[in-house]
Amino acid sequence: MMPTNTKTKFELKLGAATREAFGKALVELGRSTPSVVVLDADLSKSTYTAGFAKEFPERFFECGIAEANMVAIGAGLASAGKIPFASSFSVFLLNKGFEQLRVTAAFPRVNLKVVGTHSGISIGEDGPSQMSIEDLSLASSLAGFTVISPADEVATFKLVKTAAEFVGPLFIRTGRAKAPVIYSADREFTIGKAIELVEGSDVTLIATGLLVAESIRAAEQLEADGISARVIDVHTVRPLDRDAIASAAKETGAIVVSEEHLVDGGLGVRVAQAVGETHPVPMEFVGIQNTYAESGTPDELLDKYGLRARDVAAAARRALARKR
């Protein structure tokens, strides 16, 4: 596991959306790596690939509203030695492009990077047809795929650049809403290595994406009640940092997994599998509970569907009660 921040208080000021950080990283990659090319499905202003398109028009491919075709084209470019980043809203990229992701990218294990934006329910008023709450599950089911879900703009920027150096098919999940800044600009990230953000001995709060910040807030709430909560950011959902999870289970004896995703099939399922195989302990899961969300503001939706710090803290108390 990467180094711990210890129990320092986090300010958690709002920063840029992770989709914006993705766009900035692409432009830098374009300048430094001529083999990087970008594909989009008629959403370049929303996915923030427009910056790359403006600076490198000859290396940008507008595929129209045809996500499956875009994936296949990207796989072909990867087979020709390019480093393609194919981007669209996660719900369209994974749902419409799944067969092509499976057949043209996963099966031959080509060097295709797919980046889904507007993930989860924090997309807000656009409603359930555009909310991707299955993408981590779908991407993780593709044999050979690496799956990344960064928590803030720093993590996204660094992990997109790392993804360009990584060889193999890879999915990155980003969001529309502005995300609290957790990391300093000098933080380094390693694919497959979780980051312990807060030390703790009573319970471990494991999270990804927007729920990392909520878990930090939950740890502060629990600390006020005399409960010591460890917080771990799992920015790489696959491959999972099983050593970090096993250590957390053994050392704290209770785990809560939180994600802006269906609890059936997301990070929680993967963590539970690792816990069951290494050191079984009481577990609780915070996420979307077998439903599709309504339309509303991001804050309204996160409140209504139980994805706040208070919900993580309540789950931790339930896990602790079972532990005792």
Question: Facing residues of 37 across strands?
Answer: 84
- What burial class does residue 81 get, using C-beta atoms within 10 Å of its C-beta: 0-12 exposed, 13-18 middle, 19+ buried? exposed
pLDDT at residue 6 tops 50: no
- Which tens digits make up the pLDDT trace of 290-308? 999 999 999 999 999 999 9
pLDDT at residue 5 tops 90: no
pLDDT level of residue 74 (50, 70, 90 thresholds) = very high
Q: What is the pLDDT of residue 275?
A: 98
- For the ranges 4-13, 165-174, 233-242, which has the lowest average pLDDT? 4-13
Architecture of domain 195-323: 3-Layer(aba) Sandwich (3.40)
Domain boundaries, given as residue ranges, for the chain? 14-180, 195-323
Query: Hey, how many other C-beta atoms are within 10 angstroms of the C-beta on 73?
Result: 20
The catalytic site residues sit at 67
- Which tens digits make up the pLDDT trace of 197-217? 999 999 999 999 999 999 999
Q: What is the pLDDT of residue 8?
A: 47
pLDDT level of residue 4 (50, 70, 90 thresholds) = very low
Sign of CA dihedral 239, 235, 172, 217: positive
pLDDT level of residue 1 (50, 70, 90 thresholds) = low
Could you tell me how far CA 246 lies from the centroid of its own chain? 21
pLDDT level of residue 263 (50, 70, 90 thresholds) = very high
C-alpha distances in angstroms, 60 versus 34, 70, 84, 100, 126?
Answer: 12, 12, 10, 20, 27
- What burial class does residue 321 get, using C-beta atoms within 10 Å of its C-beta: 0-12 exposed, 13-18 middle, 19+ buried? exposed
pLDDT level of residue 167 (50, 70, 90 thresholds) = very high
Q: What is the pLDDT of residue 7?
A: 52
Q: Same CATH topology for 14-180 and 195-323? A: yes
Cβ–Cβ < 8 Å for 58, 30: no
User: What is the enclosing helix (H) or strand (E) of 267?
Assistant: helix 267-278
Could you tell me how far CA 100 lies from the centroid of its own chain? 22
User: What is the enclosing helix (H) or strand (E) of 25?
Assistant: helix 18-32
The predicted model gives 25-50 an average pLDDT of 97
What distance in Å separates the CA atoms of residue 269 and residue 238, rounded to the nearest whole number?
A: 12
* Angle, CA 136 vertex, CA 131 and CA 137 arms, to 5°: 105
Q: Which CATH number fits domain 14-180: 3.20.20.60, 3.40.50.2030, 3.40.50.970, 3.90.1330.10?
A: 3.40.50.970
* Angle, CA 21 vertex, CA 17 and CA 27 arms, to 5°: 145
pLDDT level of residue 323 (50, 70, 90 thresholds) = confident
294 φ/ψ angles, rounded to the nearest 5 degrees: -85, 175
User: HEC profile for 198-258?
Assistant: ECCCCEEEEECCCHHHHHHHHHHHHHHCCCCEEEEECCEEECCCHHHHHHHHHHHCCEEEE
The predicted model gives 160-170 an average pLDDT of 97
What distance in Å separates the CA atoms of residue 184 and residue 223, rounded to the nearest whole number?
A: 23
The predicted model gives 252-279 an average pLDDT of 97
SS3 99: helix
Compute the residue count for the chain: 324
Q: What is the pLDDT of residue 11?
A: 83
Sign of CA dihedral 170, 175, 176, 182: negative
Give percent above pLDDT 70 in the chain.
98
The predicted model gives 65-87 an average pLDDT of 98
